[in-house]
Amino acid sequence: MECISLHVGQAGVQIGNSCWELYCLEHGIQRDGQMPSQSVHSLDDMSLHTFFSETGTGKQVPRGVLVDLEPTVVDEIRTGAYRQLFHPDQLISGKEDAANNYARGHYTIGGEMIERVMDRVRIQTEQCTALQGFLIFHSFGGGTGSGFTSLLMENLATDYSKKARIQFAIYPSPQLSTAVIEPYNSILISHTTMDIADCTFMMDNEAVCMLTNNTAIVEAWARLNRKFDLMFSKRAFGEFTEARENIATLEKDYEEVASETLDVGCFAELGLVRPSLSRA
Ligand SMILES: Nc1nc2c(ncn2[C@@H]2O[C@H](COP(=O)(O)OP(=O)(O)OP(=O)(O)O)[C@@H](O)[C@H]2O)c(=O)[nH]1
Ligand SMILES: [Mg+2]
């Protein structure tokens, strides 16, 4: 059962960058797609194949396509730490962005790009034995994120009508907005995709920003994330005892974070429940 991830526009591609880094850490995959612990892995971790396909040489390749109408964001992946992970054809960029304009993303500039992207999607689907569906990452506010995503979703709905389409969308916030027309773009894409998306997860950019603006919290999150990744990769290598020790350290970290001057109101505002510190 495979899932194909599609990352569209600046926000979508940048989320993709972080997502694939995390998936690699979780599954013990190196930056070049190689997996040193492969034999241990393939026995107990079939979930790997949902997100990665394996080449003849044993390299793991993400099942995904990253696309932006302009080159700079995708170029960062092309030259970044994980550049060898992706096949060059999975990274698609044009010359000119949609300039926050839904119509440019959907009709003019996007229209010229859609065939190339659908071709790549088709190649990805052909590598699946039982494709479950598509995960689509994008912003609501960008011209590419809104206009091109809706065009892509319409094409997916036509060509792969029985497959699930799940959207992960960055919801615009007035404080962070890059353009005044972001609300219009959001309405236009909501209208187009309402009937063709099976489920939409919206991420509020203001909430994300509140978390990252607080340096104490951002450091704590970075530390916790590293620990989690480490924990996962250790478990993947079969050193479970060490992973257990990591959990203990992790718990201590939680306690430290809680004792720091953490703004509890911030969690409440985000609708998040503070992690419970009581031991089971
Ligand atoms: N959380 C988060 N939001 C982002 C990121 N990049 C852009 N955004 C948000 O996305 C919206 C702008 O859309 P972009 O994704 O930059 O635009 P685009 O899809 O590249 O479209 P065009 O540049 O207009 O062609 C704004 O609301 C930004 O705050 C990111 O890396 N993280
Ligand atoms: Mg852009």
Q: How far is the CA of 260 from the centre of ligand 1 (A)?
A: 32
Mean pLDDT calculated for residue range 216-225: 67
Q: Ligand 1: which residue has its CA nearest to atom 5?
A: 11
Measured N-to-C along each axis, helices 215-236 and 240-259 cross at an angle, to the nearest 10 degrees, of 170
Q: Check pLDDT > 50 for residue 264.
A: no
Ligand 1 pocket test: pick from 6, 7, 8, 10 the residue with the most ligand atoms within 8 Å of its Cβ. 10
**Dihedral sign from CA coordinates of 269, 228, 33, 124:** negative
Range in 21-30, 109-118, 199-208, 238-247 with the lowest mean pLDDT:
238-247
What is the pLDDT of the chain when averaged over all its residues?
83
| Location of structure tokens 């996962």 | 232
First-residue to last-residue Cα distance in the chain: 35
Task: Kindly state if the Cβ of 170 falls inside 6 Å of ligand 1.
Answer: yes
Range in 39-48, 101-110, 169-178 with the lowest mean pLDDT:
39-48
Q: How far is the CA of 128 from the centre of ligand 2 (A)?
A: 30
Whether pTM > 0.75 for this model: the answer is: yes
CATH numbers and ranges of domains, the chain: 2-211 (3.40.50.1440), 214-259 (1.10.287.600)
